[in-house]
């Protein structure tokens, strides 16, 4: 570590801002897990105050002066140099937003989230629309404040996936429109797998107990985290030593809880793997949300929906639910977990149709930020796109336009990272299999420690030192290649449906 006094002062500023942001994250976690309904207004105020104070630190003249000098310092190690570079990028971006705007956006986020909760309970989009209209107006303003070259949505994408642009995403999603319908049509023509046993009665506590068994087996450190229930599953981190996940339970749909737990567990393992001595610094944060999503999708899909995983865990699951699974085999369970069928809920969609859910949100978000559609038109537009891409039409707002919390958080530009993450996951997993020749047999024996160690060494430890594409090239020798996902999908679903893909 350098003895440069300017670097030490710079680090103190960033860590103080991290303290404020993580204090806000604790309040945000509580808001979604335990807060009583009447606490909403003052919670919004508290979050806005913390966000404003952190923003002032991260846009202050002193930090700018320090970064200007540190850019040319010759006594910093590579990690410190990377921190300064990323901080300078962040500083330049943050300076484009006023403290007043940040506070207004934070207040509106709290109000919007609570309006979304109320609308979901009433199954009525109109209760959410006025608050969402204000949020969309703020996000359009934010895009203008950030500035952009080609598309206003580019400015918002950069918050979640630095460097990604609409032009690139259009290519990715055009590929989805071309390749995935071919796979989907062949699956539709095959005999459908039976997943009816998922909809038997599975007591909440027993589901919970098994999910905790799986979390521990994945390597999730329960002395540095916990699992709770929330309206929408999420992961939040206050430090590598305090990373929390949430899930939701349906006693009449077993698929609802377990894969949410595994998915969020993958996110949490990434956060717990961040270097503690880089707390608050760019190299102590995730490379991007696409890379973050790659970690959750790798655990959820490549592992948690794999035949090897269930060869080990199905007997354990059957001990929890002997009557519900009395007529089910491990192979039957594996096939059921990978049933492909158009459905309404993104978080419960299969790996093929999932990307159409993301495509629909991507097209809607682009149009909203461009001003080509307005909030009042969302339910109709949503239903139109579901009918077009998946051949199904939501019957109500909860299974349609109200199902995700992201827009209530102002997270425009987030959804594409889900598809990017799935593609990165397949690419990373293919290379993990090459690096660990015994990986498949390890997983079949319930052993994931070597995989987690590989992820920690190759991905987690780097934080934001590299962009997503740079990290992908470092780990796999090439930039994002969607062929890995297509090969993975064809191999898996050939086995699930006994067809040649």
Active site residues: 264
Segments in 298-415 forming alpha helices (H): 307-320, 330-337, 354-370, 378-390
Alpha-carbon distance 382 to 401, whole Å? 6
Q: What are the CB-based long-range contacts (under 8 Å, 24+) for 340-345?
A: 340/184, 340/187, 340/493, 340/496, 340/497, 341/192, 342/390, 342/391, 342/392, 343/390, 343/392, 344/386, 344/392, 344/394, 344/399, 344/400, 344/403, 345/399, 345/403
CA 399 to chain centre: 20
Task: Please give the full DSSP string across 8-32, using - where no structure is assigned.
Answer: HHHHHHHHHHHHHHHHHHHHHHHHH
CA atoms within 13 A on the CB side of 320: 19
- The DSSP letter of residue 245 is E
Are the C-beta atoms of 256 and 249 separated by less than 8 Å? yes
3-state SS class at 238:
strand
For residue 384, what are the contacts with CB-CB under 8 A and spacing of at least 6?
none
Which residues are 239's β-sheet partners?
242
Alpha-carbon distance values, 186 to 237, 389, 483 (Å): 41, 16, 19
- How big is the chain, counted in residues? 501
Helices marked H in 190-338 — which ranges?
204-218, 255-272, 289-297, 307-320, 330-337
Residue 360 burial (10 A CB sphere; 0-12, 13-18, 19+): buried
Alpha carbon distance 472, 284 (integer Å):
18
Element (DSSP H or E) covering residue 229: strand 227-229
Could you tell me whether strands 235-239 and 242-247 are parallel, antiparallel, or unpaired per DSSP bridges? antiparallel
Question: What is the CA angle 39-44-50, rounded to 5?
Answer: 125
Pairing of strands 227-229, 242-247: parallel
437 in Cβ contact with 485 (< 8 Å): no
């Amino acid at each position: 570590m350098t003895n440069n006094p300017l670097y030490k002062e710079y680090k103190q500023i960033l860590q103080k801002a991290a303290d404020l942001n993580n204090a806000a994250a604790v309040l945000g976690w509580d808001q979604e897990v335990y807060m009583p309904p009447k606490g909403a207004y003052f919670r919004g105020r508290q979050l806005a105050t913390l966000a404003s104070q952190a923003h002032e630190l991260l846009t202050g003249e002193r930090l700018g002066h320090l970064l200007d000098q540190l850019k040319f310092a010759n006594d910093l190690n590579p990690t410190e140099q990377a921190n300064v570079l990323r901080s300078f990028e962040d500083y330049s971006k943050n300076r484009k937003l006023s403290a007043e705007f940040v506070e207004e956006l934070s207040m509106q986020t709290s109000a919007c989230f609570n309006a979304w909760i109320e609308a979901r309970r009433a199954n009525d989009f109109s209760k959410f629309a006025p608050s969402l209209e204000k949020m969309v107006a703020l996000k359009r303003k934010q895009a203008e404040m950030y500035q952009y070259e080609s598309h206003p949505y580019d400015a918002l994408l950069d918050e979640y996936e630095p460097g990604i642009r609409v032009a690139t995403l259009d290519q990715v999603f055009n590929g989805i429109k071309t390749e995935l319908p071919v796979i989907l049509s062949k699956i539709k023509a095959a005999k459908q797998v039976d997943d009816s046993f998922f909809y038997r009665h599975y007591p909440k506590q027993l589901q919970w107990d098994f999910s905790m068994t799986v979390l521990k087996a994945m390597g999730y450190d329960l002395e540095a985290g916990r699992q709770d229930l929330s309206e929408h599953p999420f992961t939040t981190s206050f430090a590598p030593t305090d990373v929390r996940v949430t899930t939701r339970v349906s006693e009449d749909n077993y698929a609802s809880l377990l894969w949410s737990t595994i998915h969020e567990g993958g996110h949490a393992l990434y956060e717990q793997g961040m270097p503690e001595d880089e707390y608050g610094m760019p190299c102590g944060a995730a490379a991007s949300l696409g890379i973050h999503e790659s970690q959750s999708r790798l655990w959820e899909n490549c592992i948690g929906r794999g035949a090897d995983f269930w060869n080990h865990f199905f007997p354990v699951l059957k001990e929890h639910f002997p009557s519900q699974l009395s007529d089910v085999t491990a192979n039957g369970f594996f096939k059921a977990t990978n049933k492909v069928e158009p459905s309404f809920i993104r978080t419960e969609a299969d790996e093929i149709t999932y990307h159409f859910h993301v495509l629909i949100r991507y097209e809607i978000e682009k149009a909203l930020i461009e001003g080509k559609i307005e909030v009042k038109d969302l339910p109709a537009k949503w239903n139109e796109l579901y009918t077009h891409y998946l051949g199904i039409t939501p019957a109500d707002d909860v299974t349609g336009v109200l199902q995700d919390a992201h827009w209530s958080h102002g997270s425009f530009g987030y959804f594409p990272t889900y598809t990017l993450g799935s593609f990165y996951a397949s690419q990373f997993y293919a290379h993990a299999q090459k690096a660990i020749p015994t990986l498949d047999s390890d997983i079949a024996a319930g052993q994931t420690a070597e995989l987690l160690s590989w992820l920690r060494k190759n991905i987690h430890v780097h934080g934001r030192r590299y962009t997503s594409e740079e990290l992908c090239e470092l780990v796999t020798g090439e930039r994002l290649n969607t062929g890995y996902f297509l090969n993975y999908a064809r191999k898996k679903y050939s086995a699930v449906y006994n067809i040649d893909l």
